[in-house]
Amino acid sequence: MDDFSGGSVSSSANLSPVGNDRNTTAAVNAGNNTAGKKGKDNTMIEDQEALDLAADWADISQGLKKDLGSQLHAQWIKPIQLGAFCKETGTLDLFLPTEFSANWVADRFADRLSLAWKIARSEVRQVRITVHPRRRSMPELRVGADVSAPVRVTAHHNSGPAMMDTALSGLDPSLTFAEFVSGSANVLAVNAAQRMAAIETPQFSPLYLKGSTGQGKTHLLHAIGHAFAANKPGARIFYCSAERFMIEFVQAMRSNEMIEFKARLRGFDMLLVDDIQFIIGKASTQEEFLHTIDALMSAGKRLIVAADRAPQALDGVEQRLLSRLSMGLVADIQPADIELRRKILEHRLARFNSTQVPADVIEFLARTINRNVRELVGGLNKLIAYAQLTGQPVSLQLAEEQLTDILSANRRRITIDEIQRTVCQFYRVDRTEMASKRRARAVVRPRQVAMYLAKVLTPRSYPEIGRKFGGRDHSTVIHAVRLIEELRTRDADMDGDVRTLLRQLED
């Protein structure tokens, strides 16, 4: 962060005592001491203000990382540096290294940054986003930089594999192979990724990772970079999004620095490009990317790209580029099945030793949040954070209350009629018993199970569920849901019945 604290107070006049008057001398010395003390006090105050601003920015930046995701945050928010804060106007300066990045952040994130700062400290009335006075270049893909400069690798003692300097590589230190949970849905992609990171020359190149949003493509790209750096110290590695590639390409073209851009890009030993689908339709960028692939391949370098669709499904892509992307291995990452979702949740839980999460909550999350892994992990994190901040224990009811949006987006539209029909077939009771007043155990228990499943699998409220079961009161439904929850924890047969019904309804 730039130093914007005040300096020491110094006197512009040469004050010296007249003659040998001790009183005059003492008075002047006292004045100097007082001025020096005030100067130090002012400096200390300003230093403390700078520290407070830095602390606020750390909190704001962390919040934006959660909202925007690691990739956007690293690309646009992380490079921001704090400038001066004017108390009179309430204006805080935020600096970015280039005009392009300053304009980009101002256009897209100015309102969000301004609101975050106003919440953090009320005296900030406006945020001004400008290019840094020194106009430093971005750390990624620096035009004109020394192509022979290796990516630094720092060994972490007794803490796993070596990590790369993320300021140079753009890699997230938390996205490693050790943190990636594998299963049948992604085993091919994981094995291929590990081969690409090994010292031995891979049998296929490039590696094309294909998977829908939130299934782990970006995680594998970062993991490859970390592992390759650990296996081959001094390797030159670069990770970027296709969007970032286009931005740097246009910037270099406008500044007449294409020769430096190409030399820098082709000087890497490994190039990792994410979201390659966003490079389509840009003729000049496609052409340069094609030449880069050819240069890397002919030099025996390693190229790994990721996209949300297969190469053949990329619309508007040049045929030659399509051929290059398809010539290696296309490794598909399938949506995580329920077993893999369970493993992922259990793996994440190891980070929260102080918070107990019941098995039925894990099962509920694994079954319900099935669109992508990112939402699954995000739901668990949100639930645990809420429990820790409020002091409430994690429960199925708390999960349903706090994860409403995520659960609603993931749930297949299962109807209460469908649930009643399935439960009646399973327990071999007549469908009319769901709404009857009979209280025989052989009828009551299936009815309670159906109420429980209706609450778990549909967005319906307790009163709405009660109306579908013969107009019963909402308190009856609440009692049924809590009873089945309790029975599942101590009755293996009941838990087995519910699991079987869940599988039948969700298939």
Report pLDDT digits (tens) over 324-378.
888 889 999 998 988 999 999 999 888 777 678 888 899 889 988 888 898 898 8
The mean pLDDT of the chain is 79
Q: How does pLDDT run across 247-293, given as a tens digit for each residue? A: 778 788 888 888 888 888 788 899 999 988 877 656 777 888 888 88
Mean pLDDT along residues 184-195: 94
Q: Record the tokens describing residue 412, joined without a space.
A: 């297949």
Give all domains of the chain, ordered by start, each with its CATH number: 51-131 (3.30.300.180), 153-333 (3.40.50.300), 338-410 (1.10.8.60), 416-506 (1.10.1750.10)
Q: Does residue 162 surpass a pLDDT of 60?
A: no
Alpha carbons 381 and 378: distance in angstroms, whole number: 5
Decide if pLDDT at 428 tops 90.
yes
Burial of 5 (0-12, 13-18, 19+ CB in 10 A): middle
The pLDDT value recorded for residue 17 is 31
**Residue 211 dihedral angles phi and psi, to the nearest 5°:** -170, 155
In the chain, the amino acid numbered 34 is T
Q: What percent of the chain has pLDDT over 70?
A: 81
pLDDT at site 207:
94
Neighbours of 336 (CB within 10 A): 25
Would the pLDDT of 426 be above 90?
yes
Verdict on whether the full-model pTM lies above 0.85: no
The span from the CA of 474 to the CA of 463, in Å, is 5
Q: Which tokens go with 49?
A: 């203000």
State residue 45's pLDDT score. 54
In terms of average pLDDT, the best of 13-17, 45-49, 106-110 is 106-110
d(CA 276, CA 304): 10
| Contact of 281 with 247, CB cutoff 8 Å | no
pLDDT for 48 equals: 67
Task: Give the residue among 357, 419, 346, 416 at the shortest CA–CA distance from 385.
Answer: 357
Query: Which two tokens mark 144?
Result: 């004109």
pLDDT computed for residue 411 by the predictor: 64
- pLDDT given at position 27: 43
Torsion 189-193-195-196 (CA) sign? positive
pLDDT at residue number 433: 92
State how beta strands 91-96 and 81-86 pair: antiparallel
Could you give the angle at which helices 373-390 and 338-349 cross, rounded to 10 degrees? Answer: 40
| Residue 43: band (very low, low, confident or very high) from pLDDT cuts 50, 70, 90 | low
Three-class SS state of 86: strand
Q: Stretch 176-181: mean pLDDT, rounded?
A: 93
Mean pLDDT of 53-60: 84
pLDDT at 28 over 60: no
pLDDT bracket for residue 305 (50, 70, 90) = very high
Q: For strands 126-131 and 207-211, give the pairing.
A: unpaired
**Do 379 and 342 contact (CB within 8 A), yes or no?**
no
Which pLDDT score is estimated for 435?
Answer: 92
